Amino acid sequence: MKDWGNDETIQAIKRSQATRKKVVFTNGCFDILHVGHVRYLQEAQALGDVLVVAINTDDSVRRLKGHSRPIVPELERKEMLLALRCVDHVCVFDDDLPLNIIQRVRPDVLVKGGDWPIDQICGNEFVSSYGGKVLSLGFHKGHSTTNIVTKIEESAKSDSTDVSEQ
């Protein structure tokens, strides 16, 4: 199994936990980083001391979103997320769901965006079993990667129609 630097990242997270720092965990594709992502990650980080973001591999994104995704490769998505002040660690996972990485991290707080009911958040039962909190944070309506991709596709179609009419 490929390791995307997760072992070193997990060790760093465990060191933070050993000093009683509160670890917050979230996950997603984070394909095209946008303001909705940034607001959500800032909100998540405010819930603890260390924010861990798990992202899907390119293969996992393709299985979930289709062959045309991701737009941005996994290592670039990881680099961009790590450039945000609110993000402390990024793990990469190849499963369709992040349960294995959640079990390795054992976060104090597990969060997803407001469009996720708590009972549908992957890892909910596991994190709750040891007294961790599971929260559905605010939803930043109108900001989604799918909407951005659709807008780009529509713009490209419109541009090609304009050119062919000339």
Residues 26 and 87: their CA atoms lie apart, in Å, by 10
Domains observed in the chain: 6-165 (3.40.50.620)
Helices and strands, counts by H and E, the chain: 7, 5
- Quick one: CA dihedral 93, 57, 10, 39, positive or negative? negative
* Tens-level pLDDT at each residue, the chain (166 residues): 345 678 999 999 999 999 999 999 999 999 989 898 999 999 999 999 999 999 999 999 999 999 989 999 999 999 999 999 999 999 999 999 999 999 999 999 999 988 889 999 999 999 999 999 999 997 656 656 666 666 666 777 776 665 555 5
3-state secondary structure 80-101: HHHCCCCCCEEEEECCCCCHHH
Where does 30-91 have alpha helices with state H?
35-45, 58-65, 74-82
- The full 3-state SS of 114-144, as one line of letters, equals CCCCHHHCCCHHHHHHCCCEEEECCCCCCCC
Cα 147 to Cα 58, 72, 90, distances in angstroms: 19, 15, 24
Cα-Cα-Cα-Cα dihedral sign, residues 144, 110, 14, 101:
negative
N- to C-terminal Cα distance for the chain?
A: 53
pLDDT score for 114: 82
CA separation for the pair 71, 32 (Å, rounded): 7
88: Cα separation from own chain's centroid: 13
